[in-house]
């Protein structure tokens, strides 16, 4: 044994006895026990499967919320419209930064989304045989940027009194140009299910990418309302939970914990701050063997005396 034996780095050479050990038998028994335990838990508790929200189900259950969300996509006030990278708006005040590190901004726009066109105008253009809508879309397309902004501002102001009557979105305004028809027709399109398809497939037949649909749905209040009832909001320990009374991703408890306390819960840079703290803590644990002081904690805590209690008992009696 070396003169410079470091108890938290070096291990003493084992000169004691050995006992029989059937590693294959141990593995088979463990597999059988774990398999049976899995079957037992699956039979008793099952698994949750709350159906996905569609734009169709959302706009039928909460048409006013949908129409207001559609308006926010049109006037650029939705979360997605002003999100920043990787979707849009560079530079964006919404982009998170860790001090001088603006990772989100530096990486830039890789999934470009213009909510006005991608979520409202382009899907409406795909609707066939809609002469009134086509006329209003032509008016929108032919107008100046300032004129569009004026129409949208007038509609937005009047939208606080928005009603849904006889299947139609009703907003009392005569100065919003084509916007009332656009919002109402998009709501009708959504309620028919056509908007779900338009956002998923775009110009392609196949798609496995639901980015646009999910961003649109998450801009509304309906998804969050359902999540609140399912105890899934961020202040309800968010993503580590799942619907029903299931353990969810319990291993994310520390990650989710930070979101419950300031400054993480109040900062506009909360996500990147939490990520930075977790990277730091994880790096500390991963490289523990090389960190003097920290690597001595197990020895000084003496928890190992419980783990190897039989070994120490035998050592003291011999």
Partner 1 sequence: MSSQVDRQWTTRLRRRSFGRLPPEKMLPDTQPSYVASWIYVFGVATISALVVVIATGCVLAIFGPEWWHVSNIGHFVNSLHLWSVEIFFFCMVIHLWGKYFMAAWRGGRAMTWITGMVLFLASVVTALTGYVSQTNFDSQWISTQAKDAVNASGGGAFFNLLNPGQMLMWHIVLLPLVLVALVAAHVIMVRIKGVVPPFEDDSVAATRAADVESTGAPQ
Report which DSSP code applies to 101.
B
CB nearer to partner 1: pick between 51 and 99: 51
Q: Which stretch binds partner 1 (CB under 8 A): 16-24, 119-127, 128-136, 172-180?
A: 16-24
Residue 42 Cβ, how far from partner 1 at the closest point, in Å?
A: 4
Which of 7, 91, 161, 167 contacts partner 1 by CB under 8 A?
7
Residue 73 Cβ, how far from partner 1 at the closest point, in Å?
A: 15
257 binds partner 1 per the rule CB under 8 A: no
CA distance readout (Å), 300 to 3, 13, 293, 304: 21, 21, 10, 9
Which of 110, 131, 166, 293 contacts partner 1 by CB under 8 A?
110
Contact status, residue 89 vs residue 132, Cβ threshold 8 Å: no
Which of 61, 138, 170, 285 contacts partner 1 by CB under 8 A?
285
Q: Which stretch binds partner 1 (CB under 8 A): 36-44, 59-67, 135-143, 188-196?
A: 36-44
104 binds partner 1 per the rule CB under 8 A: yes
**Sign of the CA dihedral running 246, 248, 252, 256:** negative
Question: Site residues for partner 1, window 136-175 (CB under 8 A)?
Answer: none
Question: Site residues for partner 1, window 189-228 (CB under 8 A)?
Answer: 207-211, 214-215, 217-218, 223, 226-227
The CA distance from 217 to 57, in Å, is: 11
Burial (0-12, 13-18, 19+ Cβ within 10 Å), 194: middle
Q: Which helix (H) or strand (E) holds 170?
A: strand 168-170
Which of 91, 161, 167, 247 contacts partner 1 by CB under 8 A?
247
Pairing state of beta strands 163-165 and 168-170?
antiparallel
Task: Extract the tokens encoding 37.
Answer: 């335990």
Which of 135, 175, 265, 282 contacts partner 1 by CB under 8 A?
282
Q: 87: which residues sit within 8 A by CB, 6+ positions away?
A: 80, 109, 111, 112, 113, 215
Report which DSSP code applies to 16.
S
Q: 7: which residues sit within 8 A by CB, 6+ positions away?
A: 299
Q: Which stretch binds partner 1 (CB under 8 A): 131-139, 160-168, 178-186, 266-274?
A: 266-274
239 binds partner 1 per the rule CB under 8 A: yes
246 binds partner 1 per the rule CB under 8 A: yes
CB nearer to partner 1: pick between 14 and 205: 14
Q: How many residues are given for the chain?
A: 318
> How many amino acids of this chain bind partner 1 (CB under 8 A)?
106
Which of 82, 192, 230, 236 contacts partner 1 by CB under 8 A?
230
CB nearer to partner 1: pick between 132 and 254: 254
């Amino acid at each position: 044994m070396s003169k410079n034996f470091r108890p938290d780095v070096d291990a003493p050479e084992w000169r004691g006895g050995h006992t029989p050990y059937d590693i294959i038998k141990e593995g088979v028994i463990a597999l059988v026990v774990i398999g049976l335990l899995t079957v037992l838990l699956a039979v008793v508790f099952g698994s949750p499967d709350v159906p996905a929200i569609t734009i169709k189900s959302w706009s039928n259950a909460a048409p006013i919320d949908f129409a207001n969300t559609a308006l926010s996509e049109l006037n650029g006030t939705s979360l997605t419209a002003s999100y920043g990278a990787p979707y849009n708006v560079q530079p964006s005040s919404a982009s998170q930064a860790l001090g001088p590190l603006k990772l989100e901004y530096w990486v830039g726009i890789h999934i470009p989304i213009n909510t006005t066109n991608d979520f409202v105008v382009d899907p409406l253009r795909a609707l066939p045989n809609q002469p009134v809508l086509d006329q209003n879309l032509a008016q929108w397309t032919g107008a100046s940027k300032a004129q569009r902004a004026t129409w949208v501002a007038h509609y937005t102001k009047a939208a606080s009194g928005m009603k849904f009557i006889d299947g139609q979105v009703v907003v009392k305004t005569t100065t919003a140009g084509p916007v009332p028809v656009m919002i109402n027709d998009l709501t009708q399109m959504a309620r028919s299910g056509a908007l779900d398809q338009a956002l998923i497939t775009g110009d392609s037949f196949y798609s496995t990418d639901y980015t646009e649909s999910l961003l649109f749905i998450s801009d509304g209040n309906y998804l969050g309302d359902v999540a609140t009832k399912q105890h899934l909001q961020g202040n309800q320990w968010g993503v580590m939970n799942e619907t029903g009374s299931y353990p969810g991703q319990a291993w994310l408890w520390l990650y989710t914990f930070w979101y419950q306390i300031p400054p993480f819960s109040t900062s506009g840079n909360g996500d990147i701050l939490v990520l930075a703290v977790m990277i730091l803590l994880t790096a500390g644990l991963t490289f523990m063997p090389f960190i003097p002081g920290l690597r001595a904690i197990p020895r000084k805590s003496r928890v190992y005396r419980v783990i190897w209690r039989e070994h120490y008992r035998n050592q003291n009696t011999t």
